[in-house]
Amino acid sequence: MHSYKNIPQNKMARKNIAAGNWKMNTSIEEGVALAQVVANAQRDKETVTILAVPFTHIYPLQKKIKSSSKVFLAAQNCHHKNSGAYTGEISPSMLATMKVPYVVLGHSERREYNHEDNALLALKLRAALDAGLKVIFCCGEALEIRKANSHISHVKTQLSESLFQISAQEMKNIIVAYEPIWAIGTGETASPAQAQEMHAAIRAMLQKQYGKRVADNTSILYGGSVKGSNAKEIFSQPDVDGGLVGGASLNATEFVEIINAF
């Protein structure tokens, strides 16, 4: 059994982040209404709130959400080239031109359904950072890998072959999101102890690659069926700095409860 639970760290150095991933959900009208409720709610001002929305929603939401509300938008993906004959794709420079601050890369659904491997994600990460975007970089394991007790080595490979290609200086533009794939949309949730074990392991990997300062300053989000009812306990773990929230982010009341769970 790996013993990563007591890695020394400084939680005060890191931002608390509640990121909602809407995936392929909501009409533009529904999305605008949802975002406005979140933006206008009484929220923990110390928590960074990010909404990862469909490409079609970015411009309408920018028009409707006041910048003073401190709700930031993220794209759910981008291409690894800035232009070219790639029908249906969106480039990182297009997002940068629209002043979208964040992009989600490496989400488990993109890895599975779109066959995005670590080499491609390294290219996407490079392109996104070069365009001036901040990246929510996802990693995580499927159920069979967890059952084989090789989840930590699996995530280490994901990070080594993609994220660890960038410099320590560039890590200030990275948020890591750990997704236990077996706990997404299944109703299963990793126990707070399981979440902490993996988050501490990831932080140890960051420390080995980049040093203690980068490890202490990188926010690591938990992305496996976070709800209003379990957020407080999960977020209280020393190496869990927030959540990448799926289904619950489509319910404004519940998502605000998650934002306020720190």
Give the residue numbers annotated as catalytic, written as ranges.
107, 179
**What is residue 11's DSSP assignment?**
G
Region at 185 (left for phi over 0; alpha for psi -120 to 50; beta for the rest): left
Are 23 and 110 spatial neighbours (Cβ–Cβ below 8 Å)? Answer: no
3-state secondary structure (DSSP) of residue 145: helix
What CA–CA distance (Å, rounded) separates 132 from 130?
5
What CA–CA distance (Å, rounded) separates 233 from 174?
24
What CA–CA distance (Å, rounded) separates 103 from 58?
12
What CA–CA distance (Å, rounded) separates 95 from 128?
9
Burial 130-139 (b: 16+ CB within 10 A, else e): ebebbbbbbb
What CA–CA distance (Å, rounded) separates 219 from 42?
23
Tell me the C-alpha to C-alpha distance, in Å, between residue 171 and each of 18, 98, 101, 126, 233: 19, 23, 15, 12, 27
What CA–CA distance (Å, rounded) separates 70 from 194?
31
